[in-house]
Amino acid sequence: MSGTLQSLGIDKMSVAERVALIKEILDSIAAEPDESALTPEQRAELERRAAASRANPGAGIPWEQIKAEALARFRK
């Protein structure tokens, strides 16, 4: 199935209806894990990053700081 927001009528849906549709779409994707599975390269990269984080836990930046900086830039 292919289409645009307009041809599918999604542009006429309320925000709440569109959010519900997004959730349904994400749930349908999650129900097919083989198609969304990580590649071996992606898994290796995630494992490498997790090991680096465990080896030096103080090197990261807290989420609260990242969020505050992003919001400050967005508000400018």
The pTM (predicted TM-score) of the whole model is 0.42
4: left (phi over 0), alpha (psi -120 to 50) or beta: beta
Report the alpha-carbon distance of residue 45 to residue 56 in Å, rounded: 17
pLDDT tens readout for residues 19-66: 999 999 999 888 876 755 788 999 999 999 999 999 998 888 999 999
Domain boundaries defined on the chain: 5-36, 40-75
